[in-house]
Amino acid sequence: MQKKRLRRTILVTGIAAVVLWAGGSIAENQLQAPEKELVIEGKKPARFLHATHLEMGLTCGTCHHDEKGSPLTADGIGSLQDPGKLRCVSCHNADHPDKKLQSAKDVFHARCKDCHKAGHNGKKGPNKCSSCHLKKK
């Protein structure tokens, strides 16, 4: 009887450990920002590197927010059911109630250019158009 209970305890503990380990790995993968350079498509495509911004000490909530405008944390981003919600155009489009925030161009220019001019931790970002925008081939 005692051996059965011990085996059951070991089995349950083992299963719990595997589930927690797998869940932790999944959560970690969801919380990692893309390492590759992102190209934001549009009339004049722009490039963006998460790594550069994270190395400066910026948080996810600096750019990413929920539908109420509250900054999202890495955990909040990791728990999104639809990762497509992180794309600015998922909300910043013709349906956005604020006309000034309907265009992706306006949103990026307001957020990025203002931040690049103001700087963060004593570092300012590039301000020339060609620093972010790619030349079309």
Beta carbons within 10 angstroms of residue 29's beta carbon: 9
Q: pLDDT tens across 43-77, in order?
A: 888 898 999 998 888 999 998 888 888 999 988 88
The pLDDT of residue 41 is 83
Both 22 and 47 in one domain: the answer is: no
42-52 in b/e burial notation, b at 16+ Cβ within 10 A? eeeebeeebee
Span 105-135, pLDDT tens digits: 888 888 888 899 999 988 899 989 899 998 8
* Residue range of the domain that includes 2: 1-31
Q: Regarding predicted confidence, which is higher, 12 or 60?
A: 60
Does any domain span residue 137?
no
pTM, 2 dp: 0.65
Please give the pLDDT value at position 23. 41
Return the structure tokens found at 135. 């030349």
Whether residue 47 is found in the same domain as residue 104: yes
What is the residue type of 65?
Answer: H
Enumerate residues 6+ apart whose C-beta is below 8 A from 135.
none
80 falls within a domain: yes
